[in-house]
């Protein structure tokens, strides 16, 4: 067989790879029939103008992938494989354009008031890099095997200490499970809860992505309306749910803080019906001019509360690390039935965070960021007072990294957001967090985050937003 592939010496692709591709395409397309004897290494090297080592490397790759077979003392032959179309004549339809959207395109806006974006200018890069390096040196043996299924023990010890001291939890390291984010934590909880519970109650409105997880696992999600101080316990009692997902420290998205009296009623509901409360404390570290309230988990005497916290708001969402504190009833179920699930968080990052906490860097960083965000929070409220008309009301402004703007206007939420984007300002909708359709008479509410916006950009961003909206309020 004559085989004279065209190779390009000036290509970045090695010659043996070019030769491999040329022959594999011919075999796959059927142009080299099955059973055909290929040129010897010496013959092909001469015809292609390359060295014998190049041809031998190409043949070994073709042999390894099943394109050719070797017969002792006879040489190499094309394998009997099913032909497929040449990639140059690929007739597969292209993917729809909308599938190719990149997550994070909104970050290109200078005035991006996203509620989950954090301040990267004050991230402790040098300290974190040092902890990563030390973790690699000190725990080199960790790379030989999987870590603890629940997460590294020493990290869980540090977390338990911090949570007891800073978030009023009553917990031991044995109760903590390290995970990669809220959705993964909720998915895991769904697996543990589904045998005994089928209906989950959520605040209305409540975090849409959490609702999606429950629905994907086959739970029926029922909305429970909000009162001025949080979820309506009266409505919860009538809902038929035995699991409730709540954000008591800073209701998402409306921002109110659940008072102690209502927290006690919620705990009584769980105890009476054998229910489970999932407490998502997603940004409770940041409080402005208000006294901290105890966590539901810390008040729980009956073991009914699952507590979920994270490192996303105080540190970085890119770390993808959170933690779940299981009550004894679910911890027992986890230990008995879920040991086949290794921790999804890389051991290196866990060790680095362990060192970051052991050295005192974590709490120092939280205090620093609390001061920075409190200043941004004050600048935001002042900018709103300076530029927004009376038809705009601020809601939920004592905790966390976002506020709500309620706008007294005949325009829709979508129109307000689109108008803002046209002016170069990104703000975000509350609407997707409602389970049931809202009354058309309700005023639109807009989420305005401030964590990732530069202090000097906040006033200008709000001025542009007011200019985009003001004339039509």
Distances (CA, A) of 406 to 254, 277, 291, 412, 436: 10, 30, 25, 11, 19
Q: Which residue spans of the chain are classified as CATH 1.10.10.10?
A: 15-89
Q: Which residue spans of the chain are classified as CATH 3.90.1150.10?
A: 106-118+364-472
E-strand ranges in 83-179 read: 111-112, 176-179
- The per-residue b/e assignment along 421-448, b for 16 or more CB within 10 angstroms, e otherwise, is eebebbbbbbbebbbeeeeeeeebbbbb
Measured CA to CA, the distance from residue 272 to residue 190 in angstroms comes to: 21
3-state secondary structure of 210: helix
CB atoms within 10 A of CB 272: 11
- The per-residue b/e assignment along 312-321, b for 16 or more CB within 10 angstroms, e otherwise, is bbbbeeebbb
Q: Hey, what CATH topology would domain 125-359 get? A: 3.40.640
Indicate the CATH number of 106-118+364-472 among 3.30.450.20, 3.30.365.10, 3.90.1150.10, 3.40.1170.60.
3.90.1150.10
E-strand ranges in 197-302 read: 199-204, 220-227, 230-231, 243-246, 276-280
Would you list the DSSP string of 6-67? ---TTSSS-HHHHHHHHHHHHHHTTSS-TTPBPPPHHHHHHHHT--HHHHHHHHHHHHHTTS
Measured CA to CA, the distance from residue 404 to residue 415 in angstroms comes to: 16
Measured CA to CA, the distance from residue 380 to residue 463 in angstroms comes to: 11
Predicted confidence at residue 293, as pLDDT, reads 79
Predicted confidence at residue 85, as pLDDT, reads 47
Is residue 236 within 8 A of residue 224, CB to CB? The reply is yes
Distances (CA, A) of 69 to 47, 59, 62, 187: 21, 10, 9, 47
The secondary structure element, H or E, covering residue 443 is: none
Asked if residue 231 has a cis previous peptide bond (ω within 30° of 0), the answer is no
Query: Mean pLDDT of successive 10-residue segments in the chain (473 residues)?
Result: 86 94 91 92 92 95 94 92 57 76 71 93 96 96 92 98 95 97 96 96 97 97 96 97 96 93 97 97 86 88 97 94 97 92 94 98 96 96 96 88 93 94 95 84 90 96 95 56
Q: Which long-range contacts (CB under 8 A, 24 or more apart) does 18-25 make?
A: 19/48, 19/50, 19/54, 19/55, 19/58, 20/57, 20/58, 20/61, 20/62, 23/58, 23/62, 23/67, 23/68, 24/62, 24/65, 24/67, 25/86, 25/87
Say whether pTM exceeds 0.85: no
Predicted confidence at residue 442, as pLDDT, reads 81
Is residue 347 within 8 A of residue 201, CB to CB? The reply is no
Predicted confidence at residue 106, as pLDDT, reads 64
The secondary structure element, H or E, covering residue 374 is: helix 361-387
E-strand ranges in 88-156 read: 111-112
**Length of the chain in terms of residues written:** 473
Is residue 310 within 8 A of residue 328, CB to CB? The reply is no
Measured CA to CA, the distance from residue 435 to residue 411 in angstroms comes to: 21
**Is the domain 15-89 a CATH 1.10.3720.10 member?**
no
Predicted confidence at residue 440, as pLDDT, reads 62
Token pair of 8, please? 């390009």
Contacts of 205 (CB under 8 A, 6+ apart): 226, 253, 254, 430, 433, 434, 435
Is residue 113 within 8 A of residue 427, CB to CB? The reply is yes
């Amino acid at each position: 067989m004559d085989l004279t592939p065209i190779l390009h010496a000036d290509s970045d692709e090695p010659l043996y790879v070019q030769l491999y591709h040329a022959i594999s395409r011919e075999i796959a397309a059927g142009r080299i029939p099955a059973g055909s004897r290929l040129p010897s290494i010496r013959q092909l090297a001469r015809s292609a103008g390359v060295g014998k080592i190049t041809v031998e490397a190409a043949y070994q790759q073709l042999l390894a992938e099943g394109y050719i077979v070797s017969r002792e003392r006879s040489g190499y032959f094309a394998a009997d494989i099913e032909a497929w179309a040449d990639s140059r004549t690929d007739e597969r339809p292209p993917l729809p354009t909308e599938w190719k959207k990149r997550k994070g395109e909104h970050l290109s806006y200078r005035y991006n008031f996203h509620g989950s974006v954090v301040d990267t200018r004050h991230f402790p890069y040098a300290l974190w890099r040092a902890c990563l390096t030390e973790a690699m040196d000190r725990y080199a043996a960790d790379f030989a095997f999987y870590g603890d299924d629940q997460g590294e023990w020493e990290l869980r010890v540090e977390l338990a200490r911090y949570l007891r001291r800073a978030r009023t939890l009553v917990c031991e390291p044995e109760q903590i499970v390290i995970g990669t984010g809220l959705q993964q934590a909720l998915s895991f909880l769904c697996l543990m809860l589904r045998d005994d519970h089928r209906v989950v109650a959520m605040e209305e409105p409540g975090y849409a992505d959490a609702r999606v997880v429950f629905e994907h696992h086959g739970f029926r999600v029922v909305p429970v309306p909000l009162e001025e101080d949080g979820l309506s316990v009266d409505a919860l009692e009538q809902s038929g749910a035995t699991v409730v997902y709540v954000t008591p420290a800073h209701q998402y998205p409306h921002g109110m803080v659940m008072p102690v009296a209502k927290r006690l009623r919620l705990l009584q509901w769980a105890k009476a019906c054998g229910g489970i409360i999932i407490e998502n404390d997603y940004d409770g570290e940041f409080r402005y001019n208000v006294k901290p309230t105890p966590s539901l988990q810390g008040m729980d005497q009956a073991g009914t509360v699952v507590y979920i916290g994270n490192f996303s708001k105080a540190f970085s969402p890119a770390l993808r690390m959170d933690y779940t504190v299981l009550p004894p009833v679910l911890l027992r179920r986890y230990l008995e039935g879920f040991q086949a699930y290794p921790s999804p968080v890389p051991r290196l990052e866990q060790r680095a965070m362990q060192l970051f906490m052991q050295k005192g860097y974590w709490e120092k960083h939280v205090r620093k960021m609390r001061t920075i965000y409190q200043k941004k929070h004050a600048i935001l409220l002042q900018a709103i007072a300076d530029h927004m008309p009376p038809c705009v009301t601020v809601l939920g402004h004592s905790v966390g990294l976002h506020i709500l703007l309620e706008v007294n206007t005949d325009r829709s939420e979508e129109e307000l957001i689109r108008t803002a984007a046209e002016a170069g300002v990104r703000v975000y909708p509350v609407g997707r967090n409602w389970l049931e359709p809202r009354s058309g008479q309700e005023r639109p509410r807009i989420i305005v985050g401030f964590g990732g916006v530069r202090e000097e950009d906040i006033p200008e961003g709000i001025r542009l937003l007011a200019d985009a909206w003001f004339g039509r309020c």
